[in-house]
Chain A
Amino acid sequence: MHDFQVWLVKTILEKSPVIDFMHTAWAWPIAESLHFLGLCLLIGAIGSFDLRLLGVGKRIPIAAMHRFIPWGLLGFAINISSGSMFLLTEPDQYIFNPSFHLKVIFIMIAGVNASMFYLTSYRRVFLSPATLEAPTRAKVIAAISLSAWLVVIVCGRLLTFFRPAQCEGEQTALLLTCVPW
């Protein structure tokens, strides 16, 4: 994995098309602002749907509440795009950062968890347009979803406090968490 991380950082630094753009005066701050706007859309739409499955607003039909989800996906798309801009500009600051590793893992957990909802509960919840009580399995998925996204925010916010230092000696962990040059 260490070699892969080094290769990835070097390849990005060689081929990234956005480095010059992101180094212009306002590109980075604007991308950050979009990243926060996307966060609000994602938490607002997906978080509210999770809360609804968990029993908040019990009189709202679950299928009707699901109509907000595309806005959460829009927020996610905004954040993948703006996040990629950061990654493709300062790859070493992310690829060697333990907080980023954890963030990516929890984004994947949230993704797998959401697909579990559509595989196991979607039909039961949406069979009748007036379903008001989510099955237990859907509630568990909603709780995992909310928790995973909160961990993603925590890891994202803490990234800057785990900036990788230069390596001293050999790293033995699975993932490299320092800059080897």
Chain B
Amino acid sequence: MNIDPFLVWLESTSLSQWVVGSPSLLAFPGILTLHAIGMGFAVGISAVLDFRILGIAPGVPLSEIRRFLPILWLGFWVNAVSGVLLLIGYPTKALTNPVFYLKLTLIGVAMALLVRISRMAFDEPAAARADIDPARLRKMQRLAVVSLVCWAGAITAGRLLAYTYSRLTAAG
């Protein structure tokens, strides 16, 4: 399937040209900055939850970490929106690079794990809670390790996007 006509059209839109071409610090530089801050809170808090499940800070009641989840989700949505804006700015650069799909897949797996871990840690009745039942705790710990690996992979893939693209725009 040839998506070049779509890429040419997207790059001709005024939103795409604003993201890429505006001299304002709020355009491309500002969007990149929001993407870094959102990452810090989304990945950082997810990692804190994973660390707690793996036994760090045992005095922190696992169920209470849920209070930090709204900030994690805020970071995630900031990055979804800023990421879409960056994609609208440089659609060819991302969509023709396999590393971009690797990054999205790793984020998808990490977020699915977060939802799964959240359910196990926060939503089940106290008697079945994973921090009480050793078999369920071990299962949750395996998920936490995979979560950390996925985030590290997603960050690395994201950084490598700047070095691995083959076409910057549909024209060139």
Could you tell me the distance between the alpha carbons of A37 and B158 in the complex, rounded to whole angstroms? 11
Name B37's closest neighbour in chain A (CB-CB).
A153
B155 touches A68 (CB 8 A): no
Could you tell me the distance between the alpha carbons of A48 and B29 in the complex, rounded to whole angstroms? 26
B155 touches A37 (CB 8 A): yes
Total number of A residues with any Cβ neighbor in B under 8 Å? 36
Query: Nearest chain A CB to B131's CB is how many angstroms away?
Result: 14
Would A44 and B36 be within 8 Å (CB), given that A64-B59, A65-B60 are in contact?
Answer: no
B32 touches A157 (CB 8 A): yes
**A67 contact set on B, CB distance < 8 A:** 56-60
**B32 contact set on A, CB distance < 8 A:** 157
Could you tell me the distance between the alpha carbons of A47 and B74 in the complex, rounded to whole angstroms? 14
B44 touches A43 (CB 8 A): yes
B71 touches A157 (CB 8 A): no
Could you tell me the distance between the alpha carbons of A154 and B57 in the complex, rounded to whole angstroms? 30
Would A157 and B44 be within 8 Å (CB), given that A29-B163, A60-B61, A67-B57 are in contact?
Answer: no
- Interface assignment of B65: CB less than 8 Å from any CB of chain A: yes
- Interface assignment of B7: CB less than 8 Å from any CB of chain A: no
- Interface assignment of A39: CB less than 8 Å from any CB of chain B: yes
- B: contact size bracket: 35 or more
Max chain B C-beta neighbours (<10 A), residue from A48, A51, A153, A161: A48
- Interface assignment of A36: CB less than 8 Å from any CB of chain B: yes
- Interface assignment of B151: CB less than 8 Å from any CB of chain A: yes
Count of CB-CB pairs between chains A and B under 8 Å = 111
B36 touches A153 (CB 8 A): yes
Q: Which chain A residues (60-94) contact chain B, with CB distance < 8 Å?
A: 60-61, 63-65, 67-68, 71
**SS of A interface (majority):** helix
**A154 contact set on B, CB distance < 8 A:** 33, 37
- Interface assignment of B109: CB less than 8 Å from any CB of chain A: no
**B18 contact set on A, CB distance < 8 A:** none
For B71, give its contact among A45, A51, A71 (CB under 8 Å): A51
A37 touches B152 (CB 8 A): yes
Query: Nearest chain A CB to B26's CB is how many angstroms away?
Result: 11
Query: Nearest chain B CB to A93's CB is how many angstroms away?
Result: 16
For A47, give its contact among B33, B44, B64 (CB under 8 Å): B44
Could you tell me the distance between the alpha carbons of A58 and B64 in the complex, rounded to whole angstroms? 8
Taking A58-B67, A59-B64 as known contacts, 15 extra A-B pairs with beta carbons closer than 8 A to each other, sorted by chain A number, are A40-B43, A40-B44, A43-B41, A45-B48, A47-B44, A57-B64, A57-B65, A61-B59, A64-B57, A67-B60, A68-B57, A71-B47, A153-B40, A154-B33, A157-B29
A-B contact pairs, 25 of them (CB 8 A): A29-B163, A32-B159, A33-B160, A36-B36, A37-B156, A40-B43, A40-B47, A40-B155, A41-B44, A42-B40, A44-B40, A44-B44, A44-B47, A47-B45, A56-B67, A56-B68, A60-B60, A65-B57, A67-B56, A67-B59, A68-B57, A153-B33, A157-B29, A157-B36, A158-B25
Interface residues, chain B, CB within 8 Å of chain A?
A: 25, 29, 32-33, 36-37, 39-41, 43-48, 51, 56-61, 64-65, 67-68, 71, 151-152, 155-156, 158-160, 162-163
